[in-house]
Structure 1
Amino acid sequence: MPSYTMNSEGGREPLMIIEKKGMGSSISKLMKDPSSLILVLISFAVLCLFVIYPLIYVIALPGATDWTTFFSKGRYGTALLNTVVSSSLSALTATVCGFIYAYSIHYSNIAGKKFFRFIAFLPILAPSVMTGLAFLLLFGRGGMVSQTLKAWFNVELDLYGLPGLWIVQTISYFPLAYMTITGVLRSISPNLEIAAQNLGARGFKLFRTITFKLALPGVINAFLLVAINCFADFGNPKLIGGNYSLLAVEIYGEIINNEPGLASVMGIILVIPALLVFVIQGKLLSKGSYSTITGKPVSGLKRVMTSRKTDILLFIFNSIMALFILSMFIITLLFAFTKNFGRDNTFTLDHIFKIVFNPSSPAVLNSLVLSLISSILAVGFALVLAYVVVRKPFPGKKLLDFTAVLPIALPGTFVGLALIVAFSSGPIMLQGSAILIIVAMLLKQMPVGYRGLTASFKQVDKSIEEAATNLGADSRRTLTTIVFPMLQKTIVANFVYAFMKNMNTLSTIVFLITPKWVVAAVSIFNYAETGTYYWAAAVAVGLMGTTLATLGVMKLIFRSKVKIFDF
């Protein structure tokens, strides 16, 4: 029965229950729910062990001698400058290309939009180092284009160093920029642009004052993501860079030379520009309003499209991008299925059977197994983190949230470096084990799933879970029987993303690989560096085929919940 209290006039009023707040109340509620307590403790333990501990270890490891060596040798300063310059240039051009490509998909009437969407998807299937491999096969000293120019026009083509690296990283990471920007452009309300047009804005003025300003968050986010990937890129600079040294390559060299202290110094220095980009992004976005959903009806409204002349220019641009990407995949296929393309063009499957299906060369299989395990764990952990952070009151929630998203702001090279130096000695030895590779993959992909699931949790009414709790369900049962089915689509989408990224990762795990646990991306790099391009191409084809086959199985299982080409 409800409780009442007497008022000043002698009447009865319902007794108001004031909910207690504060640390004591949060701890009390948590203690009454053992399942939630266990989930919170596990979350803190995992992040402290694999994020906080390695971070502190790698910062504390270098001595005064290591810092002195770094600042006294000019080559390290040059490598830092080269890293900032090349990463900034590549991030800028990849973002510009991604924006133009996405803009043409959503704001023009060009033909072949489905084809161009497919082309943007292709580079995601392969590791970025495959782009470097294909670039060598086309534009290297012995590449097909280079040899043709030399034979026909006596022109020596030399794109090693910054020019080649700039091109390769732009092509490698433009799909990432495209996917980031396309979601923002798709969500811009047409009525805002129509209203501006009615007020006299046309053409470039409409684009500059409305469309671009509303898309700015996506553009800045794209630049941030591409810049961080470029800072961490190891395979392409090693293959294409020549004498143009970058920090990621120098770090690898010091690890090989057993100089973890000096490598840690360079890893710390590498993080600084990445964090600066992250901070600048936040400052820029905090200065304006970028709301694209106004609450006003938009059904029946048609988006303001580009002119015929602009459509032609956009079609030409997209065709050039498509030509570059297709040529890189075609040349890889030609090397994989011929004995030695350009010298002996005889069709063969020997490279595929020898490198991909040979039990003594399990790189592709290792990639599949490690990626599946890591992706399942990453999404599962992201689900637990999002659930406890959004739904459960406990002290230290902001710290847990910050630690969960921290790895996304760190270059993959630094994450791998921190794990190898922290767990190669001391109380916990994981060096050489598959566990460390799985953890590295998990740390880089989990924050993406965590952010997506956090947003999804906030869209689900809490009363649904409270009803389950009132009926006797604890947190574990509520999570598995109520929350998981409601968020299944988001969970599957994040799993697909994590799986594809893990299959192709190189920079994050290059320090953690052992002969027993070599993965496909590392094999491509190793074969390309030794000049056995047909084997490198065979591994790349095997990796892409395995990724596509796995995605196909997922599509059959989850059907409409998996939308591979929906971007």
Structure 2
Amino acid sequence: MKEKNGIGESVGRLMRDPSSLLLILISSALLILFVLYPLAYVVYIPDAEDWRTFFGKSRYATALMNTVVSSTLSALLATVVGFVYAYAVNYSNMAGKRFFRFVAFLPLLAPSVMSGLAFLLLFGRGGVVSQWLKSWLDVELDLYGLPGLLIVQTISYFPLAYMTMTGVLRSISPNLEIAAQNLGARGFRLFRTITLKLSLPGILNAFLLVAINCFADFGNPKLIGGNYSLLAVEIYGEILNNEPGLASVMGMILVVPALVVFWVQNKLLSKGSYSTITGKPVSGLVRVTTSRKTDLALLAFNSLVALFILAMFAITVLFAFTRNFGRDNTFTLDHLMKVVFNPSSPAVLNSLVLSLISSVLAVAFALVLAYVIVRKPFPGHRALDFTAVLPIALPGTFVGLALIIAFSSGPIMLQGSALLIIAAMLLKQMPVGYRGLTASFKQIDKSIEEAATNLGADSGKTLATIVLPMLQKTVVANFVYAFMKNMNTLSTIVFLITPKWVVAAVSIFNYAETGTYYWAAAVAVGLMLATLSTLGVIKLIFRSKVKIFDF
């Protein structure tokens, strides 16, 4: 029997299913309150004078141009590094692949601002490498500004590109490459015409992910940007100067490049076919791999990247566990006891608690949204779907700006509360889980849920007892991703923290900015230990149902 459609029938079904109606109303209310209301407030608050000030000062135009240039270059470099690194791991015969997978995982454990801290400890004016070059070779190293920013953002965000490209490269069917090889394609021609072309969607998606993060990056430009001003840093300054209107103008301007990246990506992907799963058998086929010379070149490249990452982690650990590395190398636990395990310095504990709460809520909210939008179509579901994924297209700096401006005055006052920090973390991570769960719902036959409904279960019980167990792996994977991102976030919440609810990433930034590098390093180490411990507990609970440390 054909299911009846139409607005009237959809509304009728909802009225007969009050639990679904309640889920839709709650979801809509939360998205309106924490997404649409703050965005509308940011658009409304600037006056004509704020717009004239922004366009009338060359300083802001320079910051905008610097943001576009540095973010684009960093995204390109990180995407190239991520692609080559992933290609080496998946297509070469080089040794140490497990090690290189592990190294690519490491930056995900640390906040991006730790890369800026480690860069200062190595290559800053008083850095270990800078001092060595000055004393032995009489070379003055000055990488502040654009050069340093490109290096730090490339290292910070290349794992995003690597993970995206690894998934795409693994999905390319070996029979396509073997067929091309049988037709005479070899070496670089095979790579260019088959592998690279089929990888294009992954490359573009990787570029998009990295670019959005670079546009929103605040900590690294503030620490090592020097006089190279970026828009995110200018927004922070205007918030401190109590100029919310001008900050809102800059926030809206910052969104424009991010939206352009989305538009360009969609345009490029719409012009070709990139199917890699053809339904043809591939069992027993061996992927075409690189030559011996190429293996050596790829090994050298990956080793250089790995060396840089390991050096950044090593210098952070050395500063955390010595009195003042380079001047007094005596081993000590004093720094960790002072800023990690001291009840008066709860930054790491705050990060852990807030991240766990926001990650659980983000996954739960994503599950409910995916369920009602895919399984319970209703009038306005497309608008709800758009609102749900909108935060992923917005730089984290803009999301945090919108929340602090909207809830620091007006009818709803949440400034200084943990709820606002949790909401900011949730908004940035929920869309990722929502997209994944939406895809999973579409792969599961709805007749299973209909059978439960026919046996008397309402939507709430069906969601909890039928849907959730079937999607357990996806739910846990999204929770792990959200937790790691929330533990390390800075740009989204830098405007929202208070002395009571300071978090680890902000503490690292504050200590680094004031030159107390050993405390900044100690907080970074404490944050990574807390993250690893939590992930270890999750792995013990879910075992093979979730892959975390499987390199």
Please state which band the TM-score falls in when normalised by the shorter chain: over 0.9
Residue 350 of structure 1 is matched in structure 2 by 334
Residue 413 of structure 1 is matched in structure 2 by 397
1:126 alignment partner AA = A
Residue 249 of structure 1 is matched in structure 2 by 233
CA distance in 1, matches of 2:503, 2:176: 49
CA distance in 2, matches of 1:565, 1:294: 31
Residue 132 of structure 1 is matched in structure 2 by 116
Task: State whether structure 2 residue 58 is matched by structure 1 residue 74.
Answer: yes
Given candidates 77, 96, 99, the residue that maps to 1:112 is 96
* CA shift digits 1:42-73 (9 cap, x unpaired): 11111111111111110111000000000000
Q: How much does 1:18 deviate?
A: 4.7
CA distance in 1, matches of 2:322, 2:372: 54
Task: State whether structure 2 residue 477 is matched by structure 1 residue 493.
Answer: yes
Q: How much does 1:343 deviate?
A: 0.3
Q: How much does 1:566 deviate?
A: 4.4
Q: Percent identity?
A: 83
CA distance in 1, matches of 2:151, 2:476: 33
Task: State whether structure 2 residue 320 is matched by structure 1 residue 336.
Answer: yes
Given candidates 448, 457, 474, the residue that maps to 2:458 is 474
Residue 397 of structure 1 is matched in structure 2 by 381
Q: How much does 1:317 deviate?
A: 0.2
CA distance in 2, matches of 1:246, 1:480: 46
CA distance in 1, matches of 2:309, 2:409: 43
* CA shift digits 1:435-458 (9 cap, x unpaired): 000000000000000000011111
Q: How much does 1:87 deviate?
A: 0.2
SS of equivalent to 1:517: coil
* CA shift digits 1:262-288 (9 cap, x unpaired): 000000000000000011111111111
* CA shift digits 1:473-515 (9 cap, x unpaired): 1100100000000000000000000000000000000000100
For structure 1, the residue ranges without an aligned partner over 5 or more in a row are: 1-16
SS of equivalent to 1:394: coil
1:146 alignment partner AA = S
- Which aligned pairs between 1:370-449 and structure 2 lie closer than 5 A? 370-449=354-433
4+ long deviations beyond 6 Å: none
CA distance in 1, matches of 2:225, 2:180: 47
CA distance in 1, matches of 2:161, 2:249: 30
CA distance in 2, matches of 1:502, 1:561: 22
Q: How much does 1:231 deviate?
A: 0.3
* Larger-gyration structure (1/2): 1
Task: State whether structure 2 residue 12 is matched by structure 1 residue 28.
Answer: yes
CA distance in 2, matches of 1:197, 1:153: 50
For structure 2, the residue ranges without an aligned partner over 5 or more in a row are: none
SS of equivalent to 1:515: coil
Moved more, 18-27 or 274-283: 18-27
CA distance in 1, matches of 2:60, 2:416: 28
Given candidates 146, 150, 153, the residue that maps to 1:166 is 150
Residue 61 of structure 1 is matched in structure 2 by 45
* CA shift digits 1:108-139 (9 cap, x unpaired): 00100000000000000000000000000000
Q: How much does 1:202 deviate?
A: 0.9
SS of equivalent to 1:516: coil
Residue 516 of structure 2 is matched in structure 1 by 532
Residue 364 of structure 1 is matched in structure 2 by 348
Given candidates 445, 448, 469, the residue that maps to 1:464 is 448
SS of equivalent to 2:363: helix
2:400 alignment partner AA = G
Q: How much does 1:298 deviate?
A: 0.7
Given candidates 64, 85, 91, the residue that maps to 2:69 is 85
Given candidates 454, 459, 464, the residue that maps to 2:438 is 454
- Which aligned pairs between 1:126-205 and structure 2 lie closer than 5 A? 126-205=110-189
* CA shift digits 1:418-476 (9 cap, x unpaired): 00000111111000000000000000000000000011111111110011111111100
CA distance in 2, matches of 1:259, 1:280: 33
Q: How much does 1:392 deviate?
A: 0.6
* CA shift digits 1:12-36 (9 cap, x unpaired): xxxxx55321111100111100011
Q: How much does 1:565 deviate?
A: 3.5
Residue 295 of structure 1 is matched in structure 2 by 279
- Which aligned pairs between 1:492-511 and structure 2 lie closer than 5 A? 492-511=476-495
CA distance in 2, matches of 1:338, 1:565: 29
For the aligned residue pairs, the C-alpha RMSD in angstroms reads 0.7
Q: How much does 1:100 deviate?
A: 0.2
Equivalent pair of 1:138/1:144 in contact (CA under 8 Å) = yes
SS of equivalent to 1:539: helix
SS of equivalent to 2:500: helix
- Which aligned pairs between 1:215-364 and structure 2 lie closer than 5 A? 215-364=199-348
Q: Normalised by the size of structure 2, how large is the TM-score? A: 0.99
Given candidates 525, 534, 546, the residue that maps to 1:541 is 525
1:265 alignment partner AA = V
SS of equivalent to 1:342: coil
Residue 45 of structure 1 is matched in structure 2 by 29
1:78 alignment partner AA = T
SS of equivalent to 2:285: coil
Q: How much does 1:560 deviate?
A: 0.8
2:475 alignment partner AA = I
SS of equivalent to 1:509: coil
Moved more, 205-214 or 132-141: 205-214
Residue 102 of structure 1 is matched in structure 2 by 86
Residue 512 of structure 1 is matched in structure 2 by 496
Equivalent pair of 1:165/1:240 in contact (CA under 8 Å) = yes
2:89 alignment partner AA = I
2:454 alignment partner AA = N
Kindly tell me: are residues 18 and 101 of structure 1, through their superposed partners in 2, closer, same or farther at Cα, counting changes over 3 Å? closer
Equivalent pair of 1:95/1:219 in contact (CA under 8 Å) = yes
Equivalent pair of 1:373/1:438 in contact (CA under 8 Å) = yes
CA distance in 2, matches of 1:21, 1:141: 68
Matched positions, count: 551
Q: Normalised by the size of structure 1, how large is the TM-score? A: 0.97
SS of equivalent to 2:329: strand
